[in-house]
A and B are shown apart, each in its own frame.
Chain A
Amino acid sequence: MTFQELLFRLEQFWADYGCLILQPYDVEVGAGTMAPYTTLRALGPEPWYVAYVQPSRRPADGRYARNPMRLQHYYQYQVILKPSPDDVVDVYLESLRAIGIEPSEHDIRFVEDDWEAPTLGASGVGWEVWLNGTEITQFTYFQQVGGIECDPVCAEITYGPERLCMLLQKKNSVWELEWGRGITYADVDYLAELEHNYYNFEEADTEMLFRLFEMYEKESARIVEKGWVHPAFDLALKCSHIFNLLDARGSISVTERASYIQRIRTLARACCLKYLEKREAEGFPLLQKEWRVGLPATRR
């Protein structure tokens, strides 16, 4: 199964289930969770069933493309189900069938792994899902976002498509994966990965980054006051990415670290609070819509 086909099949499965298929969010994020499709929508009483690919950047995780599994830029397949359905684990296992993994033929384990994102003030409880010993999915029941209790609780299912594809294609390096049409992951992303590594670790102008952080931070705080939640949140995400870059450059001392994280959390929390306030003022519009989800008969 090619990388692109894996993603198609996940898209198709979750669309059949009743999820909206969204497109990747266009601001740099460290994980699919940070897209407003998850961070903001996890809050409040409105139902929300979506799935999307999210390109994710974690500058400090780069290994100059020399490690077969670690990249500073990779993809996540993110599913949000709110409220979490009672049969959510069964549905998830069904999705594995859709990508050619017959659960009964493999050892699938749910190994405790709670999740926390200090920059978002978010935390959840859940598992890593193991397939024959390899972590293929992060499964989380969100408990808090922006320091606000999630009610109802959503289930977040985050697949690692590269890892899954390596298993399916029996490849030992992400770079050897066939993306599609005989073209490999390396053909698509190798050069960018390498260049970003040099930039992130050696070249990024830290003076500029510090200035940008301040500017974005100030702007986010200003804008959220006016009620413009989404632009303010994008600016908070910018701060988060810049912080990650500075961290990769080794420019943030251990003592400063906590205060930067706190500053980003403050921005994110303000956005979360304002988002909830605005949705409430609008009467939580999605509560009026009927959003039916469930496995179609053909998938049962």
Chain B
Amino acid sequence: MSTVLKERATFLLEIGCEEMPAGFMRGTLQQLAEKLSQMLTEHRLSFAQIRTLGTPRRLIAFVDDLATHQSPEERTIRGPARRACFDEQGNPTQALIGFARSRGVEPEQVQFMQTPQGEYAFVTEYDAGRPALEVLAETLPNLILSMSFPKTLRWGARKMRFGRPIRWILALLDTEVVPFEIEGIASGRTSRGHRFLAPEPFEVPAPEAFLDALRRAHVIADPEERKAMIVDGATRLAHAVGLKPVIEDDLLEENVFLVEKPHLLRGSFPESYLRLPAPVLMSAMKKHEKFFPLVDSQGNLAPGFISVYNNGDPDKVREGNEWVLIARFNDASFFFEEDLKRPLTEFVPMLGRMLFQQKLGTLLDKTHRLERLSEKLARALDWDRDQTECLLRAAHLCKADLATQMVMEFPDLQGVIGREYALRANEPLCVAEAIAQHYEPRHAGDPPPNHPIGRALAVLDRIDTLVGYVGLGYLPKGSSDPFGLRRAAAAVVEILADEPDYPTLAELVQHAHDQYREQRAPLKPLVAVQPELRTLFYARIEALLEEKGVRYDLIRAALGGGWDDSVYGFVQRALLLQKRAQTPEFAARATTAIRPANILQAAEKQGLKPVADLSQIDPALFQHESEHALYAAVMRLTPQFEALYTAHQYETMDAMLAELDEAVNPLFDHVMVMTDDAALRANRLNLLACANRLYLALADWRQVVLSD
């Protein structure tokens, strides 16, 4: 069909669809590149690179320098062993004849080669490959149909599924159409421009001409270019009136994929609306209208916004944008005034009509649990009366704003509205702040709350949620975490990492579990919930320590050790290990510390049960001075360690372990621990168990990887 085909050419694929959700686009484009790359490699079609571009109406892939013909391939196919190929007279057997026939050759063409398993029959086949055009035409339909999306649909009378209906497909290898069809949608060289500015279909002669043709048709195919246009344009428009646009990444990204060509305008609203809480105005602009708010040099909200639009007469669009924003503000203003007719505290009983979770009760039930948990925590932290009262009040009010009309309308303002309303109801500032802060960090990467009351409530609220959901059997699986449990666990860990005085994770979980039990929620028993939550929390601690640059083996060592599961303790000990690992003595310490651990493990494998209990050691059974010396060290260190551990004095403990090291090594050098005399053996193992317990207070030293 074609004249002289180039050896290498550009391949262009455009899948034209109805407006794809902005949130699908990045993942989909990446997936398209991956699938193409995999398919081309599988089919021996070499290429230089794949570039994907896209707008809401099109997914585009360029494959640069694609071989227009599959690379040839020589394949050797192994047949039967030589001894099975000939009978005693040296005639070909049925095995050989069958093998030859199956490969389409005569028996005499079969070759024999030596392999590690002996001599075997082989046939060498040569595959010259096929034109890329044919291979693409065959593989592209399935490639397109195999694409996955967060959600798919069917449309019309078709059976296929895609992110949004496919309306055209353009597929060109150099100047040739790659011909295929998917349920009546035939590939071709026709594309379409901007839905409103250049609706007419147009033909694309070759891939190289495509992007310019799109540009002429008012489509900027490259998301990065659109992004730059939006940022530049918004900044310029804002600067012109001495303001700055508030451009958050998520909103920018969404705008990039809501338009085929960004146009920008600056709109404004009457200053009188600035009486509404700034977060409400921001939310109406950002979440509802996808506008960028404007702020002055002090960061105060200005009565204006930047709107990114796809098309239209700027005056009409601005008029419409301003109209709808003011309508939103009026709505918000209506809710604001209605809500303020009563103090925040009166919203609390309404939480009894709002479900937290079907089996975990209402938000009022949650509030009651948080109040009880707060009492316990305040006692554990030995807080004074003022702090305790503030925490209890904040716990009582922290969910109240969920019953307000404003939060029902602007759900992302939960907490923020609570603070506003609390202040207006003359609640103490510490209560108001805690209500807002207990949702922090709101997004990954945000800082945790900075106020003690907010931190306490942030931890308790999340522990309550985690215990409830995990207690019902909901655990995050793979990439699926619909209830945000991993994020909740990460927030707890992040806060507790800086809290030396908090109860341990196990204690916090137990308290929360007790509250559910009192409310008769059908949770799994504590013993079942604890290990599942521990896994969840430990994974977050690991992640936190990795971020802090702690070596992976040392993280494992820290998490494997410790006498309890205080997050602060884990973190401090991991950081200590990281520091100590730089010193020359560290290797010797680790080598010594694992000696008791290893022998205890071996003993346990034999069914012995050493106990780390000083009262179970009988000095009368010692036979060597090294036993007396180790016993003396353990007796001296144990009570000191218990006090130091509680005070998180890990560095001092580490230094003191040198005494233990000095006593442990001679014992191993002079005493046969696993002697046949059962009483002597048990006594020695118990002694070592007591020593091991001291090492274990800092780490599971067996996890430490020593380079030499």
Residues of A within 8 A of B (CB): 63, 66-70, 83-86, 89, 103-112, 114, 124-125, 127, 131-134, 141, 143, 150-153, 155, 167, 170, 172, 250, 253-255, 257-258
Contact = CB atoms under 8 A, between A and B. Distances in A.
Contacts of B289: 133
Nearest to B355: A254
Contacts of A66: 334
A106 B324 contact: no
B471 to A, nearest CB: 18
A132 B154 contact: no
Contacts of A111: 258
30 contacts: A66-B334, A68-B327, A84-B156, A104-B197, A104-B312, A105-B312, A106-B313, A107-B309, A109-B309, A111-B258, A125-B151, A131-B320, A132-B312, A132-B319, A132-B323, A133-B307, A133-B320, A133-B321, A141-B155, A141-B165, A152-B156, A153-B153, A153-B156, A153-B157, A170-B323, A172-B323, A172-B326, A254-B353, A257-B355, A258-B358
B355 A141 contact: no
B320 A134 contact: yes
A106 B331 contact: no
B21 interface: yes
B311 A106 contact: yes
7 nearest CB pairs, A to B: A132-B320, A112-B21, A110-B19, A254-B355, A107-B309, A125-B153, A152-B157
Contacts of B317: 106-107, 132
B331 A67 contact: yes
Given A69-B331, A105-B316, A110-B56, A83 B22 contact: no
B167 interface: yes
Contacts of A107: 309-312, 317, 320
B18 interface: yes
B696 interface: no
Given A112-B22, A125-B152, A150-B154, 8 more contacts: A66-B334, A86-B156, A108-B196, A109-B258, A127-B19, A133-B325, A167-B320, A167-B323
Contacts of A127: 19
Interface in B320-358: 320-321, 323-327, 330-331, 334, 353-355, 358
B312 A84 contact: no
Given A84-B155, A132-B316, A132-B319, A68 B311 contact: no
A105 B19 contact: no
Contact of A250 (B56, B313, B353): B353
Most buried by A among B22, B291, B319, B323: B323
B441 to A, nearest CB: 27
A67 B316 CA distance: 25
B353 A253 contact: yes
Interface in B123-160: 151-157
Most buried by B among A69, A106, A172: A106
Interface in B263-312: 289, 291, 307, 309-312
Interface in B573-608: none
A255 B56 CA distance: 41
Nearest to B263: A107
A179 B197 CA distance: 34
B23 interface: yes
A143 B310 CA distance: 29
A183 B326 CA distance: 26
A65 to B, nearest CB: 12
A111 B164 CA distance: 12
A141 B155 CA distance: 7
Nearest to B320: A132
Nearest to A129: B19
Nearest to B197: A104
A177 to B, nearest CB: 14
A143 B151 CA distance: 12
B638 interface: no
B307 to A, nearest CB: 7
A41 to B, nearest CB: 16
A141 B258 contact: no
A103 B196 contact: yes
Given A105-B313, A107-B317, A133 B324 contact: yes
A110 B196 CA distance: 13
Contact of A153 (B154, B327, B354, B355): B154
A67 B307 CA distance: 26
B362 interface: yes
Contacts of A67: 331, 334
A107 B152 CA distance: 26
A124 B22 CA distance: 18
Contacts of A258: 358
Contacts of B354: 254
B355 A104 contact: no
Given A67-B334, A107-B312, A153 B196 contact: no
A48 B705 CA distance: 71
A155 B326 CA distance: 32
Nearest to B363: A254
B196 A104 contact: yes
A258 B355 CA distance: 11
A134 B155 contact: no
A110 B157 CA distance: 22
Contacts of B316: 105-106, 132
Contacts of A110: 18-19, 56
Given A83-B157, A85-B156, A109-B310, A254 B362 contact: yes
A104 B311 contact: yes
A146 to B, nearest CB: 17
Interface in B173-228: 196-197
Nearest to A171: B323
Contacts of B155: 84, 141, 153, 155
A63 B56 CA distance: 37
A68 B330 contact: yes
B349 to A, nearest CB: 11
Nearest to A89: B18
A257 to B, nearest CB: 8
Contacts of A167: 320, 323
A90 to B, nearest CB: 8
Interface string B350-372: 00011100100010000000000
A251 B23 CA distance: 38
B28 to A, nearest CB: 13
Contacts of B331: 67-70
Contacts of B167: 86
